[in-house]
Structure 1
Amino acid sequence: MRALHTEIVHDPVLAADYVKRLDEPMRELKKNRLRAAQSAGQLSDDLDLDVAVDLLFGPVLNRWLQRTGPLTDEYVDHLVDTVLQGLQPRHT
């Protein structure tokens, strides 16, 4: 996957194919899960789901691609807790 991501940077055709065949379907599955959390009142109704997906998965992908630190269960659990806490509805 690291090699694929390297090639995507240099090959716009491959990048477009990757987005269409892999990224978009996976992103939609992730957004569906966030929609379920919205329906349950766990996330704000006006949440930008694309931004939420980026917030949740961007740090994991970055850490994995660049090997900037260990990608442990503890790290991911802390990341998810932190992001989801910030995405909860605001009670005013």
Structure 2
Amino acid sequence: MPVKVFYSSASGSMETKKRQERLFSVLTSKNIPFEPVDICQNLEERDLMREKAGNSAALAPQICNGDVYCGDFVAFEEAIEMGQLEKFLRI
């Protein structure tokens, strides 16, 4: 099952856009299959993302593997720095 990345195609935040690009770039460069889920196209997906994150105000990007919540962008970056990306993504 591919990693699911909840993202926002209509974010007005440059930082959010950069974070999403970085996340997609890393996953692509490491040949890690992922499914991008645009929370702007479907509010049910946004609600699902927030439910999985356990935070009713969570913002994209958020990462899951199946039904298991992996973390947000900050946790993703920390996993890369620690050399534990696969463990973080549960793959």
Between Structure 1 and Structure 2, the one with more strand by share is 2
- Alignment TM-score > 0.5, same fold: no
Structure with greater contact order relative to length (CA < 8 Å, sep ≥ 6): 2
Q: TM-score, normalised by structure 1?
A: 0.31
Structure showing greater Rg: 1
